[in-house]
Amino acid sequence: MLPDTTSRVEQNTAKTVNERIWRKTECNIQLYSKAGPEAIDMRLKQLDREWDIERAIEANAASFSLFGLGMGAFVNKKWYLLSAGVAGFLLQHALQGWCPPVALFRRMGVRTMHEINHERSMLKASRGDYQTMQSSLPATEILETSPSQAVA
């Protein structure tokens, strides 16, 4: 059975590594929440540029694959095995959420999109973004508004 897409990397990461990443995330939330709205705005922009584990794995796989193809074409055909191995690891990651580089990247603190979005949501909540959204319409209007009316 294949793991859920949203939790497969965390399920295949050592508990101590996951805990360290979550502690760092919670510290960031506390630090920037106490620093005020300007600091939160700056941190949200940083989070928009942060690479998640999927992007890091994809870039890593593409780099090694291209290297293997180049070396296979110009040095020795045995280098094509590198590209084949990388493709196998990429498939394994897609299916299971694990491949050898995941452990390294996670130890380096590379987070999943779920972890990044958690920090983003908590910072927005501490800034009061969600209170503004809730109070903009009376509760009766929120319940009576259909999704098609909300978009219009």
Rounded Cα gap, residues 2 and 137, in angstroms: 42
* Four-residue CA torsion sign, 34, 49, 125, 97: negative
pLDDT of residue 145: 45
What would the pLDDT profile of 75-103 be if each residue is shown by its tens digit?
999 999 999 999 999 999 999 989 999 99
pLDDT digits 0-9 by tens, 114-136: 999 999 999 999 999 988 555 55
Which runs of consecutive H residues, i.e. helices, occur in 97-138? 100-107, 113-127, 129-135
Name the helix (H) or strand (E) containing 74.
helix 53-74
List the domain boundaries for the chain: 7-129
Q: Tokens standing for 47? A: 């989070």
Please tell me the pTM assigned to this model.
0.82
* Residue 86 burial class via C-beta count within 10 angstroms: exposed 0-12, middle 13-18, buried 19 and up: buried
What's the pLDDT tens digit per position in 33-90? 999 999 999 999 999 999 999 999 999 999 999 999 999 999 999 999 999 999 999 9
